[in-house]
């Protein structure tokens, strides 16, 4: 039997908690886990103590809004809407009462990413991990340094002595793609041409008096671009011809800009964004001209986006996408928590990060790991020798001619491959569940903030799972204790 329910009126809607927040809500629990005060010191440095102007949003609101956006995987506008509609989110941000209006404009999210420094986020991440580790292992003593700070090597060596290696360290590297179109030489030149046309229009409008606007042939240039870009499989000669045409269009536009500057226009008439684009276009044009003349597809510090010149191509060798465009990060995974050891926009070989990540492990826990689990690229002779000197076992097959392995060696290799799964899963969660699969931030500093916030959100999820498992274990212990007491009572 099916009964159709009608939409109830608002006065008849039942609130099960009597108008009070539920203490078991996830946002209430998360509010207690985050050291909010660590973000306030660097956050205040962005404002002048003049006593004038509108009061700025608190650091807790800024940091909390970024965490909400990452955990929900929504846009800036949807983040503001969720905060307005959800009282638990407002409690998470530190409000004392429910507000029925937008707490801030969605554009403020950009300023929040700029004002919270990466150093503050690293301190917060270390503090969350340290607090969770102390709850699970209260007997463990943390190192002398505060969370997020690296102690001096000489002091740590004298204090730690010859501590025996213990624990597992999982390391790996991945790329966090930026929000750009797949770059080709033809697309980059077409984008440069269109932006130079806009710059010519702005500079010409700033010249006093009536002067003829330089001819840019923008319609013809657009037609030439589409003649090749819309082809399904254009030949190399056709692509090269189209690139040559776009190079000449960009060269002509740059010459017009120089003449306009000589005629009385000034770069001060341009907005900062267009001024920056003009500088990038000069560099991109030189790179494209060099590759065109040398018939090559490689150049140092290659620009793949005019609006985001810091983005570089990262060759990853994946099956789905051989080259990715974004920041490359090296991360460590210890006891379910993930930490970022390096972020770079330039491509690098992560092999050299093994010793640094192992040293970071020692500085945080007071000893080297007993084993390091990494993929094949880390298993170089230099890394093997470094680990052998310190009594660390590096996963992977032994060097030399392949030989028949024993049953124990085969079992260990299979276990090593299994132990590497968690860090791969963390990367998958950050990209599929979070926002690291496509970083929408446009600046290098805000992109780093987004990546770090993504890792903090992963660690917060781990802490919640630990607390949930601990609570279930305590409840089971209480049930067993009550049952034992009842049995003793009945027997007595």
pLDDT tens for residues 202-251? 999 988 877 888 999 999 999 999 999 999 999 999 999 999 999 999 99
The residue out of 278, 294, 310 marking a domain boundary is 294
Structural domain contains residue 447: no
Structural domain contains residue 108: yes
The percent of residues above 90 in pLDDT, for the chain, comes to 60
Mind listing the pLDDT tens digit for each residue in 324-361? 999 999 999 998 999 999 999 999 999 999 999 999 99
The answer, yes or no, to whether residue 266 has pLDDT greater than 50, is yes
Q: Which has the closest alpha carbon to 71: 472, 429, 345, 400?
A: 429
The answer, yes or no, to whether residue 414 has pLDDT greater than 60, is yes
CB 253 within 8 Å of CB 200 = yes
pTM over 0.75, yes/no:
yes
Asked if residue 492 and residue 394 are part of one domain, the reply reads no
The residue out of 294, 312, 335 marking a domain boundary is 294
Quick one: pLDDT at residue 416? 87
CB 460 within 8 Å of CB 67 = yes
Distance between CA atoms of 395 and 384, rounded to whole angstroms? 9
Least confident of 126-140, 249-263, 349-363, 398-412: 126-140
The tally of domains found in the chain comes to 3
Structural domain contains residue 5: no
Asked if residue 199 and residue 172 are part of one domain, the reply reads no
- The answer to whether the Cα torsion of 175, 178, 181, 184 is positive or negative is negative
Instruction: Give burial (CB, 10 Å; 0-12/13-18/19+) of 257.
Output: buried
The percent of residues above 70 in pLDDT, for the chain, comes to 90
Asked if residue 226 and residue 330 are part of one domain, the reply reads no
Structural domain contains residue 347: yes
Asked if residue 190 and residue 174 are part of one domain, the reply reads no
Quick one: pLDDT at residue 154? 43
Give the CA count within 13 Å in the CB-facing half-sphere of 185: 24
Structural domain contains residue 408: yes
CB 371 within 8 Å of CB 488 = no
| Measured CA angle at 485 (ends 479, 489), to 5 deg | 145
CB 324 within 8 Å of CB 183 = no
Range of the domain at 460: 13-145+453-492
Asked if residue 202 and residue 136 are part of one domain, the reply reads no
Distance between CA atoms of 165 and 163, rounded to whole angstroms? 6
CB 58 within 8 Å of CB 94 = yes
Structural domain contains residue 309: no
Mind listing the pLDDT tens digit for each residue in 312-328? 999 877 777 889 999 99
Lookup: tokens for 219? 């319609």
Cα dihedral: 96, 101, 104, 107 (round 10): 150
Mind listing the pLDDT tens digit for each residue in 428-471? 999 988 889 999 999 999 999 999 999 999 999 999 888 887 77
Structural domain contains residue 303: no
Mind listing the pLDDT tens digit for each residue in 133-186? 887 665 554 444 444 444 444 444 444 456 788 899 999 999 999 999 999 999
Asked if residue 76 and residue 34 are part of one domain, the reply reads yes
Quick one: pLDDT at residue 145? 44
Q: Write the CB contacts of 288 (distance below 8 Å, at least 6 apart in sequence).
A: 185, 188, 189, 243, 247
Asked if residue 173 and residue 194 are part of one domain, the reply reads no
- Higher per-residue pLDDT: 48 or 115: 115
């Amino acid at each position: 039997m099916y009964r159709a329910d009608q939409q109830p009126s608002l006065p008849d809607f039942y609130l099960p908690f009597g108008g009070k927040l539920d203490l078991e809500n996830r946002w209430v629990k998360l509010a207690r886990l985050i050291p909010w005060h660590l973000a306030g010191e660097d956050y205040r440095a962005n404002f002048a103590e003049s006593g004038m102007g509108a009061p700025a949003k608190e650091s807790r609101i800024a940091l909390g809004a970024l965490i909400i956006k990452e955990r929900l995987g929504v846009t800036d506008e949807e983040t503001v809407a969720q905060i307005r509609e959800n009282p638990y989110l407002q409690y998470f941000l530190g409000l004392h009462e429910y507000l029925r209006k937008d707490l801030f404009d969605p554009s403020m999210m950009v300023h929040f990413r700029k004002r919270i420094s990466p150093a503050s986020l690293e301190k917060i991440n270390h503090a969350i991990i340290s607090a969770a580790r102390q709850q699970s292992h209260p007997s463990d003593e943390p190192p002398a340094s505060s969370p997020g700070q690296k102690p001096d090597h000489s002091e740590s060596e004298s204090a730690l002595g010859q501590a025996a290696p213990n624990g597992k360290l999982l390391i790996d590297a991945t790329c966090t793609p930026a929000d750009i179109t797949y770059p080709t030489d033809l697309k980059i030149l077409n984008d440069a041409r269109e932006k130079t046309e806009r710059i010519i229009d702005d500079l010409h409008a700033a010249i006093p008096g009536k002067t003829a606007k330089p001819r840019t042939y923008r319609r013809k240039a657009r037609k030439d671009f589409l003649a090749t870009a819309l082809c399904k499989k254009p030949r190399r000669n056709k692509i090269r011809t189209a690139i040559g045409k776009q190079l000449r269009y960009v060269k002509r536009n740059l010459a017009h800009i120089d003449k306009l500057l000589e005629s009385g226009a000034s770069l001060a008439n341009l907005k900062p964004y267009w001024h920056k684009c003009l500088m990038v276009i000069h560099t991109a044009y030189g790179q494209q001209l060099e590759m065109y003349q040398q018939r090559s597809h490689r150049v140092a510090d290659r620009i793949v986006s005019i609006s985001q010149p810091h983005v570089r191509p990262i060759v990853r060798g994946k099956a789905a996408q051989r080259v990715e465009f974004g920041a490359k990060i090296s991360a460590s995974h210890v006891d379910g928590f993930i930490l970022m050891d390096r972020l770079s926009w330039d491509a690098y070989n992560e092999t050299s990060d093994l010793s640094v990540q192992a040293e970071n492990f020692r500085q945080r826990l007071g000893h080297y790991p007993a084993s390091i689990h990494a993929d094949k690229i880390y298993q170089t002779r230099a890394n093997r020798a470094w680990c052998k000197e310190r009594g660390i076992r590096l996963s992977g097959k032994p060097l030399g001619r392949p030989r028949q392995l024993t049953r124990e060696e085969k079992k260990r290799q299979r276990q090593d491959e299994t132990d590497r799964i968690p860090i791969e899963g963390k990367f998958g969660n950050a990209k599929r569940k979070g926002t690291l699969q496509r970083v929408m931030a446009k600046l290098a500093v805000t992109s780093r903030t987004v990546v770090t916030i993504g890792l903090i959100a992963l660690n917060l999820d781990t802490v919640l799972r630990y607390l949930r498992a601990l609570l279930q274990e305590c409840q089971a212990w209480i049930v067993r204790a009550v049952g034992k007491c009842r049995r003793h009572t009945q027997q007595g």
